[in-house]
Structure 1
Amino acid sequence: MMNQYTDTELINKILEGELALYEILIRRNNPFLYKIGRSYNYNHEDTQDLMQDTFIDSYLNLSKFENRSSFKTWIIKIMINNCYKKLHKLGYKNEIITEINEKAIPMFSDNSHTDTNKVIMAKELNFVIENALIQIPLDYRIVFSLREITGLNVEETAQSLNISESNVKVRLNRAKAMLRKQIEKSYTTTDLYEFNLIYCDTMVLNVMNKIKKL
């Protein structure tokens, strides 16, 4: 029943004191944030830490959410900022992202593969995708991840990165040119960087326990 509420309805109820409902927002956005962290080349453990920080930051600033964009876009921006902060702390170059045809079909949208084939290819596919993405610059990689893997549209991607829609299209097209030949010739799937449900449960438990102590 609770899952039928929109994000905005959930936020209003949480702000009115129904803290337990924040779990729904965590579960809805776990996969998106996980993909972001992995796209920044963070390992599983570091990505989980960044996600936990992001969910707590989101909760603490929930009253500031003005519904100008979707909650998904808003929390993705928080995750991206946390990823940049970590890069800076680790001494990496803090790359600045400065600026896909809106009707373009995501590269990995073909559902022709059977579930059995997906299971068989899962580990190898994730390895291929991750290693291919590592080879391209971060500014192209993150646009590709948001648009093609996470599934944001051009407007949402631009809002998440604070760049123009035209730059989203340019960077996405360049990223596709870098990746298509070595990936799409053998693989096609939407199940990239899938966030396993067991990790989702752990994330919910950790975040909710910390929030209750705030």
Structure 2
Amino acid sequence: MVDSKAYADQEVISRVLTGEKAFFEIIVRRFNAALYKVGRGYGFDLEDTKDLMQETFINAYQHLKSFEGRSSFQTWLIRIMLNNCYRKKQKQVHGLYGQQLVTLQSGEEGNWRDAHNNTDRFMQRRELAHIIEQALSKVPYAYRVVFTLREINDLSVADTAGLLGISEGNVKVRLNRAKAMLKNEISKVYAPSDLFEFNLIHCDEIVAGVMGEILAG
């Protein structure tokens, strides 16, 4: 696997466009979590989100030449993901997709006592993430997607406005309303970054699927 930290986005794109397909793995690993959060924030379950992610990465690879750098590559990629989510949602005719609790990993080590304390903290984080995810699923899409892009994916107000085709002022208003709606479901202190964490097992699965299709082409 290529060392992803050694290359900026534009350099990776250039290498892929000159025929070094293996470099696209850097893109997949670098933006897996961001696309995952978009899919879950849109309301899709784990399996549908993974399908949408793979579709998005393949779309991005097929149209990589069209990326002009007017926005960040992440913004360009998220726009493709949002379009795919919208199309899939339009095809949905029966009910809502089931919500699945996302597995979180504490990643903490230590002695037995520390491990016990870490387990308690892990369970608290897991429950907090579940509470936030369930609350967010009840927020109308127009507000939920702004919250997802700004608070979970950490996009700027300008990028969020550009992706959604609304004014920056509208982004701020919708974000504030989304937070207000969540207050009835969650405590005053919450950690949006704990939401929808992308398990490394799923990351490797997406990488294998995308790269298998690209390298076979």
Structures share fold, TM-score greater than 0.5: yes
Is the alpha carbon distance of 1:189 and 1:69 closer, same or farther for their aligned partners in structure 2, counting shifts above 3 Å? closer
Alignment size in residue pairs: 194
Aligned to 1:122: 125
Equivalent residue for 2:181? 178
* Aligned counterpart, 1:5: 7
- Paired residue for 1:84, among 75, 83, 86? 86
Q: Please state how far the C-alpha of 1:45 moved relative to its aligned partner.
A: 0.4
Q: Does the C-alpha gap of structure 1 residues 189 and 38 become closer, same or farther in structure 2, counting only changes over 3 Å?
A: closer
**TM-score, length basis structure 2:** 0.83
**2:149 partner letter:** L
Tell me how large the CA RMSD over aligned residues is: 2.0
Q: Which moved more, 1:60-69 or 1:204-213?
A: 204-213
* Residue aligning to 2:105: none
Residues of 1 paired with 2:9 and 2:54: CA distance?
19
Name the CA distance, whole Å, in 2 between partners of 1:92 and 1:35: 23
Q: Percent identity?
A: 52
| Structure 2 match to 1:138 | 141
Runs of at least 5 residues in structure 1 that lack an aligned partner in the other structure: 94-114
List gaps (5 residues or longer) in structure 2: 96-116
Task: State the Cα distance separating 1:175 from its structure 2 match.
Answer: 0.7
Whether 2:155 is the aligned partner of 1:152: answer yes
Q: Deviations over 1:131-189 (max 9, x none)?
A: 10111100000000100111111011112222221111111111111113432435335
- Paired position in structure 2 for 1:193: 196
Instruction: Determine the C-alpha separation between the residues in 1 that align with 2:194 and 2:58.
Output: 27
Change (3 A) 1:92 1:34: same
Distance 1:136 1:53, change over 3 A: same
Specify the structure having the higher radius of gyration (Cα): 2
